Amino acid sequence: MPLDPQAKKLLQQLAEMELPPLSTLEALQARELVAKLRGKELRPQAVGRVENRTLLNIPVRIYTPEGSTPLPVLVYFHGGGWVLGNLDAADNICRSLANGAGCIVVSVDYRLAPEHKFPAAVEDAYAVTNWVAKNAATLHGDSTRIAVGGDSAGGNLAAAVALMARDQGEPSLVYQLLIYPVTQYGFETKSYHEYGQGGFGLTKEEMVWFWHHYLADAADGQNPYASPLLANTLTKLPPACIITAECDVLRDEAEAYAARLQSAGVSVQQHRYDGMIHTFVGMGAVLDRGKQALADIAAELRIALAT
């Protein structure tokens, strides 16, 4: 299927700006460029309560919707290739999920690479998730309904936290929401060859750049907490919702992870959005399919987290 017309127009507008490829920049330069480009929602969705806090020396933003408590809790990790992104980057997604799914969302500002290499981000993500599970009542949350989620590199962290929680024996998670997640250190899938260059947004060169910053050594890419697809077994993991975009280099590894989860007996809801590009779920302001996908995800999350 060809690119969605709205996605094509967006990519054309970005091309006309003649921006330097991220892969040619230092990490700080890339962060400055992305910060300038990030458009702010004119009217961000109102949520019952939004609070910035620090848990275990890690900044978080807690979104609590209106509703009777205790509420289920989603611990969310933003995207950005482990190098870019912050709490603001995931703000519109977190607001939508809090309201649409009727759950508390704890967005985590984990440590970024290259200043903090793997496994720093995973350790932060797991630490906050474990804290939330043990202290859910203080957030007006339900400790028996804790989920993890994230987009892109954040989806990678959510998958890694689910693996780590299983391996460590805590916390008990009921769901994992993986939005076009990175699942393997490697660049040779069909989707990489089809969409790794040629103006589809996220490029192969950028993913190489992200991984280079994230890993201290290429051997770390074989660690299942960096590459969940390489885990020996995916049994005894929580049910998953996996979202992919057709025109995305990460499509095939995300769908391969969904297939492996299903083969391991894990319940999986997988949805591919045709004609869409990487990061589309967070672009509801300009992409109708992104807005619809976010509503779809929230509806599934609400069902999954129901008592």
For residues 30 and 17, what is the distance between their CA atoms, to the nearest angstrom?
Answer: 15
Q: What whole-number distance in Å separates Cα of residue 163 and Cα of residue 224?
A: 8
> Is-contact 3 11, C-beta < 8 A?
yes
Assess contact for 64 and 87: CB atoms under 8 A: no
Of 55, 237, 224, residue with least CA distance to 129:
55
11 - beta bridge partners? Answer: none
Which positions are catalytic? 152, 248, 278
Tokens 């929602």 sit on residue: 41
* Nearest-angstrom CA–CA distance, 152 and 79: 5
What's the rounded Cα separation, in Å, for the pair 13 and 170? Answer: 46
Q: Are 77 and 157 in contact (CB under 8 A)?
A: yes
